[in-house]
Structure 1
Amino acid sequence: MTYRPSTIRLSAEQVTLVDAAARRLGCSTGEVIRRAVDQYLLGQQLLTASDLRLRRVCEYAQLAMDAILQENHPEFRDGILAEVNNRMERYHGAR
């Protein structure tokens, strides 16, 4: 694999931690930084996939609950939606 040189700025504490990790792992500081970047990018991909799954599950649950309410308890639907709006504003700052 070929590498392209890059310059990054680290705090003194970060340099100390990267150097210690390199000694512990028996590799260069550059390798520690490359591994950290790889892990971060992989984590972001997994987070994105997990976030998408969570959103899909939430949408499904909301649609299913709305269908159940409309069919079996339409008298509660407006009150529930009003409370959802109150909680969205209270806990998430959304209106």
Structure 2
Amino acid sequence: MFAIVTIAGQQFKVEEGQEIFVHRLEAQAGDSVSFDAVHLLANGDDVTVGTPMLSGATVGATVVDPLVKGDKVIIFKKKRRKGYRLKKGHRQQYTKLKIDSIAG
């Protein structure tokens, strides 16, 4: 069984027991969160598609780690012969979730 759900503005295909990284949520480790923006539910050959969302369908998850940092991205700008160089770095913050239940 899997579902397509919107979490923090992005759509994910999730299954029970799966661990995913989503953009940072305001939650503590061990908190239970549920998402009701479910777009599709599939259980074998039984597929239910929402228009655009299914009413009454929820996905339950537990926060494993509230703050995980992604890989560093380097931003480097340069204009030749002008003496202009700019180097910046960025690390995106994620929340690690474990999908507990898919109900619908």
Q: What TM-score does the superposition give when structure 1 sets the normalisation length?
A: 0.21
In terms of fraction of residues, the more strand-rich structure is 2
- Which one has a bigger Cα radius of gyration? 1
Which structure has more relative contact order (CA 8 Å, sep 6+)? It is: 2
Q: What TM-score does the superposition give when structure 2 sets the normalisation length?
A: 0.20
In terms of fraction of residues, the more helix-rich structure is 1
